[in-house]
Amino acid sequence: MAKNETEKPLTGADIIAAYVNTLSGKPGVYRMINEHEELLYIGKAKNLRKRVTAYTKYERHPIRIQRMIRATKTMEFVVTGSETEALLLEASLIKRLKPRYNILLRDDKSFPYILMRTDHKAAQLMKHRGKRNKKGQYYGPFASAGAVNRTLDTLQRAFRLRTCSDSVYSGRTRPCMLHQIKRCAAPCTGEISLGDYAQLNRDASDFLSGRSQALQKRLQARMQKASDDLNFEQAAEIRDRIRAMAFVSTGKTHIAPKTFAEADVAAIHRDAGDQACVQVFFFRAGQNWGANAYYPRHAKDQNTADILDAFLAQFYTGKPIPKQLFVNVDLPNKALLETALSERREKSFRIFKPLRGEKFDLVELARRNASEALARKLAETASQNKLLAGLAGALDLPEIPERIEVYDNSHIQGTNSVGAFIVAGAEGFLKREYRTFNIKDASTKPGDDFAMMREVMQRRFSRLLKEGGTNENGLAWPDLVVIDGGKGQLSAVSGVLEDLGVLERTTLVAIAKGPDRNAGRETFHMIGRPEFSLPPRTPVLYYLQRLRDEAHRFAIGTHRAKRKKQMHTSPLDAIEGIGPGRKKALLAWFGSAKAVASAAAEDLAKVDGISKKLAGSIHDHFNE
C-alpha cells in the first residue's frame, strides 16, 4: 500500500510513545538520542514505563524539555536490579558521556593522597595521585596539591620522616640539608636507629588516622619523662613535635572540627544570573584537608536542590566516600543517594542538613566560600569575554571565538620531535584538552618544521572529520587556529586544511616573532589579508602572546619529557627475548650496554640465561 503523501512525519513525542508499549515497570536507565546519533539526555527511573510515558505529555514540560523531546529520534534502555543501581549507572554514564541536557560536573579530577610507603626498612613519606599500585598506607583524599604539601610540611617538622627516593637514600654517606634544618631524622646514615624511626612512623600514622589527641598525651608523657631524666635536648625535640602538630588546627589549614572526625561539607550558591557554584570541604582524621570549588553546567530552569543532587551523584563516582555529608539544601533523592553510596562504600553513609551548631556554621562557611568563588569566576569570565571580543575585532572574525587552538612544535636537531596544541576559551586555558603528537612520518627530514606542522594538522583535522567534531575527548571544532610561525607555516597549514576540504570551517592566523625575536613587535599573517601588526602594549596583543607562550611551554615540556625518557632506555630493550632478568645479567657481566654491543657471540653465550641462539641474535642486532 502506498504511503499517504499527506501523512505527517513522526514527532519526537510519537517516537517516544512507540517505545512505551515495549517497556516494563522495572527500574533502569534510558538514553535519548537525536538524528545525528548525538546523546541528548541520560535519565534513571524507578519504573521505566511510567517515566518514559511522561515524555509523551509534550505540553506539560518546560520549553527546554520540549526542545529535547522534539530532537529525540531514538532511545536506548538498560534494565537494572534496583533504583539505587540505576542511580549509580546514570551518574557514571553522565560523567563519561556528558549529554547536552544533563546537569554536568565540570573541572573534575582525581584527588591527591599522602602515601606512607611500608615496603622499605625506613618508611618513605610522599605525595601520591593515581592508581594505588605501591605498597603502603594511603591517607586522603586532599582537596589539592597545596593541601597535601602543607600537611607534608607539618609531618616533616613533627615526625622527621624521609621524603627522598630509595636511590638517594642508599647513596647517602652523610646527612642531607633536611636533617640539618630538623626536617628528617636521617635513618640513611644511622643518625637514628631503625627501631626509633619505626616509632616515628607509627606516631605519624596515628596523627593521620585521627588519633592525634591520644598521640599528644603520649608525647607529653615522653616529654615529661625526658625532662625528669634531665634529657632536655630530647624534651625540647618532643615539644617542637607537639607544636608542629598543633599547627594543623591553629595555622593556615584553618578549621579543625570538634564534633566529628570524618565528613565532607558541600554547599551550593546561585547568583542572580542563575550561575551555580558548589564548594566542597574535606575533613579527615579531625583535620581540614582542603576545599575545592566546582561550577556544574545546568539550565536556568533547573532547581538548586536538583543541581546539587545530580552533582553529588557524579562527584562520588570513582572517588572515596566519607562517613557523612553535610549540605545546605534538602536533596530530592537524599534517601536513594544514601542507599546507593552506602552500597558503594560498603559501610553506612548519611546525608544531613544541619540547622544549628558547629556543623551548620561549617555549611554556612562553605556557602559563603561558594558565593565568593562564583563572584571571582564571573569577574574573570567577563574579563575574558572582553578580551575575546577585542580579539575578534582585531582579527576581523565574524563572531567571538568560543574555542581557540594554538599549535607549536619542539625538537633538538630533529630528535624527539613532538607537535602540540593548547586550548583556550571563555574560561581561560582548558588544560584537560591539551594534546601532543609524536612525529611519526619517516619521510619527514630532521628539523623540517613545515613537514612536522603538516603532519600534526593532517592527523588532528582528519580525526575531527572522522569523529564529527563532537565535544567528547577534546574533539570540538576550533573557531580560531593560531600557529607559531610566519608565512611558511601558514601556507603549510592552509594547504592541509584545503586538501581536507575544511579550510572554510575555521580561521587561521600565524604569529611571526618580531626583529631580534622582540615580544611586542610580532607580525601576523592571515589568508587573504596583508601581513599586519597590532599596537604595542594592548590587551589583545598581550593575550595572543600569552597564548603563543603557553603553547611553546607545553610543547617544550613534552619534548623534554620524551627526551628524558629516552635517556633512561637501554639499547638492549629493543632486542627480542631480552627481558629485565637477562638485561641485568648482561650488564652485570659486561659492565655496560656498549660493552655488550661490541662483544663476540661466544662471549655473550657465557652469560647465565643466554643461549647460543640468543647470543647470535644479540650479536647480529648490533652488527648488522
Model confidence pLDDT, tens digit, residues 576-604: 788 878 888 887 888 777 788 888 888 88
- Does 326 have pLDDT greater than 80? yes
Q: Lowest mean pLDDT of 197-201, 211-215, 275-279, name the range.
A: 211-215
Cβ 544 vs Cβ 511: under 8 Å: yes
| Cα–Cα distance for residue pair 262/257, rounded to 1 Å | 9
Q: What is the pLDDT of residues 131-159, one digit of tens each?
A: 888 888 888 788 778 788 888 887 888 88
**CA–CA gap between residue 177 and residue 174 (Å, rounded):** 10
End-to-end CA distance of the chain: 75
Structural domains of the chain sorted by starting position, each given as residue range(s) with its CATH number in brackets: 12-97 (3.40.1440.10), 113-250 (no CATH), 263-375 (3.30.420.340), 403-559 (3.30.420.340), 571-622 (1.10.150.20)
- pLDDT band of residue 206 (cuts 50, 70, 90) is confident
Measure the CA angle with vertex 48, ends 44 and 51; round to 5°: 80
Among 405, 399, 313, 355, CA closest to 102: 313
Spatial contact of 293 and 369, defined as CB atoms under 8 Å apart: yes
Of 223-237, 367-381, 461-475, 525-539, the poorest mean pLDDT is in 461-475
Measure the CA–CA gap between 75 and 174, rounded to whole angstroms.
Answer: 69
Report the pLDDT averaged over residues 328-333. Answer: 93
Is the pLDDT reported for residue 613 higher than 90? no
Other CB atoms within 10 A of residue 333 CB: 19
Cβ contact 493:419 at 8 Å: no
Please tell me whether the peptide bond between 332 and the residue prior to it is cis, using omega within 30 degrees of 0: no
Radius of gyration of the chain (CA): 31
What integer pLDDT is reported at residue 568 of this predicted model?
A: 56
Average pLDDT, the chain: 84
Q: What is the pTM of this model?
A: 0.68
Nearest partner of 20 among 47, 49, 57, 46, judged by Cα:
49
Q: Which residue has the cell 636533617?
A: 179
The tens digit of pLDDT for each residue in 332-361 reads 999 999 999 999 888 999 999 999 999 999
Residue written as cell 571571582?
376
The C-alpha cell at 345 is: 562504600
Lowest mean per-residue pLDDT among 33-42, 201-210, 465-474? 465-474
- The angle at the Cα of 514, spanning 511 to 516, to the nearest 5 degrees, equals 140
Q: How far apart are CA 281 and CA 142, in angstroms?
A: 10
Half-sphere exposure of 270 (CA within 13 A, CB side): 19
C-alpha distances in Å from residue 561, one per residue of 262, 294, 362, 453, 548: 39, 31, 43, 20, 20
Q: How far from the centroid of its chain's Cα atoms is residue 144's Cα?
A: 11
More reliable by pLDDT, 518 or 60: 60
Strands (E), 465-528: 480-484, 507-512, 523-526
In terms of C-beta density within 10 A (0-12 exposed, 13-18 middle, 19 or more buried), how is residue 100 classed? middle
Smallest CA-to-CA distance from 406 within 447, 464, 456, 359 is with 456
What is the rounded distance in angstroms from the CA atom of residue 89 to the CA atom of residue 91? 6
Q: What is the pLDDT of residues 350-403, one digit of tens each?
A: 999 999 999 999 999 999 999 998 988 888 888 888 889 999 999 999 899 989
The average pLDDT across 483-499 equals 89
Q: Specify the range with the lowest mean pLDDT, choosing from 97-106, 213-222, 474-483.
A: 213-222
Confidence of residue 3 (pLDDT cuts 50, 70, 90): very low
The predicted structure's pLDDT at residue 75: 93
What pLDDT sits at residue 472? 46
pLDDT of residue 247: 59
Q: How far apart are CA 473 and CA 478, in angstroms?
A: 14
Cβ contact 312:331 at 8 Å: yes
Q: Is 454 helix (H, G, I), strand (E, B) or coil?
A: helix
What integer pLDDT is reported at residue 250 of this predicted model? Answer: 45
Residue 78 has pLDDT above 80, yes or no: yes
**Cell 560498603, located at residue:** 346
The whole-number pLDDT of residue 412 equals 63
Query: What single-letter amino acid sits at 360?
Result: F
The residues facing 436 across adjacent strands are: 420
Question: CA quadruple 237, 240, 244, 246: dihedral positive or negative?
Answer: positive
Q: Is the pLDDT of residue 471 over 50?
A: no
Q: For the residues 478-487, what does the mean pLDDT come to?
A: 90
Whether 509 shows a pLDDT value over 90: the answer reads yes
pLDDT value at 220 more than 90: no
Question: Using CA atoms, how far apart are residues 39 and 31, in angstroms rounded to an integer?
Answer: 7
Confidence band, pLDDT 50/70/90 cuts, at residue 278:
very high
Helices 212-228 and 194-208 cross at an angle (nearest 10°) of 140
Cβ neighbours, 10 Å, residue 513 = 15
